[in-house]
Amino acid sequence: MDFGFGLTPSSAIELDALDNGLFEKLCRIEPGARTCIACGCCTATCTASGYSGMSVRKLLLDLQRGRNQEVEQMLSHCMLCGKCTMVCPRGINTRRVILTVCRLYDNVEGEL
């Protein structure tokens, strides 16, 4: 039966081939990253989000889903102002999380 919609290959996530190793490393260093409830407060206050699509929520979700290239592109848009940290209802130091992700990417590139 055709319902008139379907998944495009770009939005399908193959869970068996998922590589979320960077997210697991991040959570060992910054356990607060696992407590994010994806409420969007960080994105709503982010100065860069309206112009560049920067979103801590999306960054963490992409890391969980193994979309490392998207995360790497998004990191360059963060201005590290810290507004997102001030409004997080879970008290996550999102600025520190972003800096940790940047360090993890620097280490990954050094291994290649």
CATH (domain of 105)? 1.10.1060.10
Q: Do residues 84 and 94 make contact, with C-beta atoms less than 8 angstroms apart? A: yes
Identify whether 88 is part of a domain: yes
- Lowest pLDDT segment from 9-13, 66-70, 76-80, 98-102: 9-13
Identify whether 31 is part of a domain: yes
Identify whether 2 is part of a domain: no
DSSP classification of residue 3: -
pTM to 2 decimal places: 0.79
Identify whether 51 is part of a domain: yes
Identify whether 9 is part of a domain: no
Give the confidence band of 2 by pLDDT, cuts at 50, 70, 90.
confident
Give the confidence band of 69 by pLDDT, cuts at 50, 70, 90.
confident
- Report the number of distinct structural domains present in the chain: 1
Identify whether 14 is part of a domain: no
**Boundaries of domain holding 24:** 20-111
Identify whether 74 is part of a domain: yes
